[in-house]
A and B are shown apart, each in its own frame.
Chain A
Amino acid sequence: MMSEIFSVAFITGIIAATLRMSTPIILATLGEIITERSGVLNLGIEGTMLFGAAIGFLTTLSTGSLWLGVLAAALAGIALSLIMAILSVYLGLSQHVSGLGITIFASGLAMFIYRLVVGSPTVPPIIDPFSPIAIPLLSRIPILGGSFFTQYSLTYITWLLIPAVSIFLFKTRAGLRVRTIGQNPFAADTVGVNVNLTRTLCLAAGGAFFGVAGAFLTLAHQNMFLIDVIGGRGWIAIAMTIFGNWNPVMGAVGGLIFGFLDALQLRLQTLGVDLPFHIFLMIPYLITIFALISVSRKASVPAGLLKPYRREDKGG
């Protein structure tokens, strides 16, 4: 068994699988970090991802263009997040309730629209999905070439987005505003930052990330839309946001660890270890829980998170 684990094919395979499986989680985590940094917890994430997966797929199915599908998924995510903004930012309703409401609503809506468009065929319609792109020269490096440099374009984009979001949040004026309204919206308001508008924009940006994260699963990883295709990956992104202490780089590291453990457990199953398969399936979730426990005690939660902003309320 040891010789199987340390073979080049095994290592290349597991790195490649880790990167593939972590892509939607990292994308969604980045979106959630932007949103939560502005003070809004968006539990609509799981439903928004499913909605993006459906709209992206249907767009590609009818137009034949994968990138139009990605764009449509982003717009679908933005649309749902704007509903979230109306409920939680402007009406000031509970972020938990409105987020979960959006998830339930979006799951139903995704299936409804899918049925309207494709009817109820017994074999689901398929599209021609994104293929992995081998980067010239780099993809010939042993192990690293077949794993890091032979990925879907959306995976490469996700990696570029990790530093981009990080720079945006910590090195730009706009990022400073976002972080300030997440910490102390009253202070931000006094210096002329439009709190509710900024929160709405952050929700919209996050929604676009969620939509594309969902579409990755139906346009690249798979070539069909099925209900449950998200499979709880949105909730994992919520956990990774906390694990990463609202920092994009650390959140991405969390996503990678989760992806790695998931890739590992599938391989351990096929090695023929005679344990109940549930044990293997539990591994990524169990370790995530332990990581969360150890990390979240030191976590610095944005102070304004979960609190709708009302100018007439007293500051502080």
Chain B
Amino acid sequence: MKKFLLIALVGLMAVTFAFAGGDAEQADDGVFKMAAIFQTSIEEPWDGAIHVAALKIAEEMGLTYEFAENVKAADFSKVVREYSERGFDFIIGDAFLAGEEPSRAVAKDYPDIAYAFGSEFDIQAPNYSVFDNWIHEPAYLSGVIAGMMTESNVLGVVAAIPIPEVNRLVGAFKAGALSVNSNVTVKVAMIGSWFDPPKAKEAAVSMIEAGADFLFAERFGVFEAAKEAGVYAFGNMSDQNALAPDVVISSCVWDMYPVLKNSIDAIQNGTWKAQNLKDWSMMAAGGSSLAPYHGLESKIPADVKAKVADLQKQIMAGTFVVPVIETPTVSD
């Protein structure tokens, strides 16, 4: 019995190794190859935003695009290295946290390959660029909408973990609300994980009980609570109106397309260098936007819409700069 199991195990491992190379043997056919590595599944909005932009650009420019999701910390460097060995031209990923160090370490070994990973830290010459989502501008606009429309003067924010990227959104949302309504109080709860919709929902329920009538859903799970209680919510990262059409009044949308487009152009022209790609994620570059109001358009008073449109114009023109608040916002 034991011998049989052993033979079966060895056989299984042999098969695994035989196929592990994938398409590695394929000759380089000159097609530009891009790979993305994600630490969670692509339903996670941050990874989803990167993935959608990558799909779009791959189709548009006729590139090869492959991705790996749910790559845990222990495997991250292995997967980055695998794509590097297979001769990919451009390797991107969500990075941050556990993916940060492994991706930087591998990038050092392949100076001719272009890397771009999400990071709040510095670039790494010559080939490792960093990007981040800069959707604090639409978050500010969401705050303006909530601040003008709230009846209870209580707003809620359910977010994951207070890292700068998340703090920016919370801070901008609150600043936007306070800019139009000085009586507003903002409740903030962190669920301590990127993915715990049940906990996010319960946090939202507790805010609704405390009187909140507008919720900023940095994470999934909030819309369910908003739906049951009949309050409005803002989606984050992608246009999430389809998840709860009666509830999601707008969303802060991050579009990775400008980041990818400009990076790929630079790589193909041979002008790529390690850089902070953040400007391509700003509203002015088309990297972020406030999603349409969809079916809730008629519920928003004209003066609110006018105010938001006006601010939007000023942000695009650079005459108004949304504050960047990277320290954690404490609940009022």
Interface residues of A (CB under 8 A from B): 4, 9-10, 13, 17, 20-21, 111, 120-124, 126, 129, 131-132, 217, 221-224, 226-229, 231, 262-263, 266-267, 269-274, 277-278, 281
Contacts and interface: CB of A to CB of B under 8 A. Distances in A.
B210 A270 contact: yes
B220 A267 contact: no
Nearest to A269: B189
28 contacts: A13-B206, A13-B209, A120-B51, A121-B43, A122-B51, A122-B238, A123-B242, A124-B43, A126-B243, A222-B197, A222-B224, A224-B243, A226-B44, A226-B197, A229-B195, A231-B193, A231-B195, A262-B202, A263-B202, A266-B189, A267-B206, A267-B210, A269-B189, A269-B190, A269-B331, A270-B331, A271-B331, A272-B331
B209 A222 contact: no
A223 B225 CA distance: 11
B175 to A, nearest CB: 17
A266 B199 contact: yes
Given A10-B209, A270-B156, 11 more contacts: A13-B205, A21-B198, A120-B51, A122-B43, A122-B238, A226-B41, A227-B43, A228-B194, A262-B199, A267-B209, A274-B330
Contacts of A120: 42, 51
B48 interface: yes
Contact of B202 (A20, A229, A273, A281): A20
A229 B198 contact: yes
A139 to B, nearest CB: 15
Q: Which interface class (under 10, 10 to 19, 20 to 34, 35 or more) fits B?
A: 35 or more
B50 to A, nearest CB: 10
B198 A217 contact: yes
A121 B52 CA distance: 9
B201 A221 contact: yes
B49 to A, nearest CB: 8
Contacts of B206: 13, 17, 263, 266-267, 270
B57 to A, nearest CB: 15
Contacts of A224: 197, 220, 243
B179 interface: no
Contacts of A111: 41, 70
Interface in B51-93: 51-52, 70
B201 to A, nearest CB: 7
B173 to A, nearest CB: 15
Contacts of B49: 122
Contacts of A122: 42-43, 48-49, 51-52, 238
A270 B330 CA distance: 9
B275 to A, nearest CB: 27
B210 to A, nearest CB: 6
The 9 A-B residue pairs with the shortest CB-CB distance, nearest first, are A272-B331, A122-B48, A228-B195, A13-B209, A277-B190, A270-B187, A281-B192, A269-B189, A231-B196
A226 to B, nearest CB: 6
B230 to A, nearest CB: 13
A21 B51 CA distance: 33
Contacts of A4: 210
B118 interface: no
Interface in B189-223: 189-199, 201-203, 205-207, 209-210, 220-221
Contacts of B210: 4, 267, 270
Nearest to A223: B224
A85 B40 CA distance: 31
A228 B209 contact: no
B97 to A, nearest CB: 15
Nearest to A91: B1
Interface in B215-260: 220-221, 224, 228, 238, 240, 242-243
Contacts of A266: 189, 199, 202-203, 206
A63 B228 CA distance: 24
Interface in B239-285: 240, 242-243
Nearest to A9: B209
Contacts of B242: 123
Contact of B207 (A226, A227, A270, A277): A270
A277 B224 contact: no
A222 B201 CA distance: 8
B195 A17 contact: no
A82 B242 CA distance: 39
B238 A123 contact: yes
A126 B51 CA distance: 20
B327 to A, nearest CB: 12
B329 to A, nearest CB: 10
A227 B190 contact: no
Interface string B20-53: 0000000000000000000011111000110110
A231 B187 CA distance: 24
B216 to A, nearest CB: 13
B25 to A, nearest CB: 25
A269 B205 contact: no
Contacts of B194: 228
B243 to A, nearest CB: 6
A278 B207 CA distance: 19
B109 interface: no
B299 to A, nearest CB: 22
